[in-house]
A and B are shown apart, each in its own frame.
Chain A
Amino acid sequence: MSKIKFIFDLDGTITSEETLPLMAKHFNVQEEIEQLTRETIQGDIPFVESFIRRVFILGKLPVDEVASLLENVKLYPELADFIRTHKEQCVVATGNLLCWSENLLSRLGCESYCSDAIVEDNKVVKLTKILRKEVVVEKYQSEGYKVVYIGDGNNDLEAMRVADVAIAVGMTHSPSKSILPITNYLIFNEKALCRQLNQLL
């Protein structure tokens, strides 16, 4: 049997609530962030630009408080169980900063790839890496894995395009229209997604 890796987007794919609006609400920067998120998901602002602007808004916030807020984000329980049960075959690729996401990611126990930044005095002072998710897909393909990519947003587009199997999900919100012309599957329900992942094993 061929080696398989499932690479998951995090926000809205594994988490049943989007983390950005949650952070924005908690720190009272809702309006700015919601506007940015909406335009990014629709593909009106390129992901990288959106991400830099997002970090500029949120980077001033205390990192430890962001991390503990995200740690308690709701996950899709059955999907999280699938990842924990098959943690050797599962990988999370999130554009979010490692310093914000690491507590949350530790609940899943699998390998993960994030964007990165320098943190000083509990604040993000400099963005050092913006994750390009397609690089993660290509890395595993070059190691001989068949890669299944699961995501919902415009920032998953290139990763889905190069993946061997692309699954678009519309569980937390409608999938970005940009990914539909390149996806193999479209799934709206957690149980159906887990069924499909098991059938791919």
Chain B
Amino acid sequence: MPSVKSVVISCAGIGSRLGLGQTKALIKINGKSLITWQLELFKDVEDVRIVIGYQANDIIEEVLKHRNDVVFVYNHRYFETKTGASFYLGAVDAKEYVLEWDGDLLVHPDDVKKILATEGEFICYADKSSDEAVFVQTDENGDVLAFSRETGDYEWTGPACIMKRKVQYSSGNVFNQLEPYLPMKGIKVRAYDIDTYDDYKRVLEITKNW
């Protein structure tokens, strides 16, 4: 892990689509909270920045069980903002490069290692698994040409790594913040979003073998 990179985990949201009554960072996946899974994957990362909003105190308490050297970043306006605002807040005082990581995203541990070892800027995507996703269009090298709500070769899941100075405040989503810098290097990963209850059940199965 180059020390020039921060990881920003966005955990500010309410998790309303999932319907388990708590913020997604705290849902249990095979006995461990989602944020615990992520902290284990990032245990060698120096600057882990966790963006909090809804149920902030509960997330802080859970994180402090594992490590106390993270920087908690508040998104006080989590109710009326989206992931773009959280990413901006997490990135603005970070290291030179910022790895954006949604709090509801689980990535295969081998792919996490690959992501952390990759230098420079890139966008990660996965095989399509949802109809409501944002898709990425790629070229023959797998680099990302465009995001689209309608069609694409793969599903945009994140993470993405970009220089801090390029991260502008956005009332939209993270992919809107990346669009001005396309094309960007693409990396295909085994990544699983947990947006709905079906996603949650799927991740319970997948992670049994991790």
Interface members, chain B 26-57 (any A CB < 8 Å):
46-47, 56-57
Q: Given A186-B60, A186-B74, check contact A199 B94 (CB 8 Å).
A: yes
Query: Contact mask A153-166 → B, CB, 8 Å, 1/0?
Result: 00000000000010
| In-complex Cβ contact of B73 among A182, A185, A189, A191 (8 A) | A185
B70 touches A192 (CB 8 A): yes
- Which residues of B are found within 8 Å of A189, using beta-carbon distances? 68-69
Q: Given A180-B56, A186-B60, A199-B94, check contact A192 B76 (CB 8 Å).
A: no
Query: Contact mask A135-155 → B, CB, 8 Å, 1/0?
Result: 000000000000000000000
**Which among B69, B76, B95 has the greatest number of chain A C-beta atoms within 10 A?**
B69
Q: Given A181-B76, A184-B74, check contact A192 B93 (CB 8 Å).
A: no
Number of A-B contacts (CB under 8 A): 41
A191 touches B69 (CB 8 A): yes
B72 in the interface, Cβ–Cβ < 8 Å?
Answer: yes
Report Cα–Cα, A182/B56, bound state, in Å: 13
| In-complex Cβ contact of A192 among B69, B74, B95 (8 A) | B69
Shortest distance between the CB of B113 and any CB in chain A (Å): 23
B64 in the interface, Cβ–Cβ < 8 Å?
Answer: yes
B182 in the interface, Cβ–Cβ < 8 Å?
Answer: no
Shortest distance between the CB of A149 and any CB in chain B (Å): 14
A200 in the interface, Cβ–Cβ < 8 Å?
Answer: yes
Number of interface residues of B (CB under 8 A): 18
B204 in the interface, Cβ–Cβ < 8 Å?
Answer: no
- Which residues of B are found within 8 Å of A182, using beta-carbon distances? 76
- Which residues of B are found within 8 Å of A165, using beta-carbon distances? 93
Report Cα–Cα, A159/B93, bound state, in Å: 20
- Which residues of A are found within 8 Å of B69, using beta-carbon distances? 188-189, 191-192
Nearest residue (CB) in A for B52 is A186
Query: Contact mask A171-201 → B, CB, 8 Å, 1/0?
Result: 0000000001111111111011001100110
Given contacts A180-B56, A184-B74, A191-B69, 20 further A-B contacts (CB under 8 A): A180-B57, A181-B76, A182-B76, A183-B74, A185-B71, A185-B72, A185-B74, A185-B93, A187-B72, A189-B68, A189-B69, A192-B68, A192-B69, A192-B70, A195-B46, A195-B71, A196-B71, A196-B93, A199-B47, A199-B95
22 residue pairs from A and B, CB less than 8 Å apart? A165-B93, A180-B56, A180-B74, A183-B74, A184-B73, A184-B89, A185-B71, A185-B72, A185-B73, A186-B72, A186-B74, A187-B72, A188-B64, A188-B68, A188-B69, A189-B69, A195-B46, A195-B47, A199-B47, A199-B93, A199-B95, A200-B93
Binding site for B on A (CB under 8 A): 165, 180-189, 191-192, 195-196, 199-200
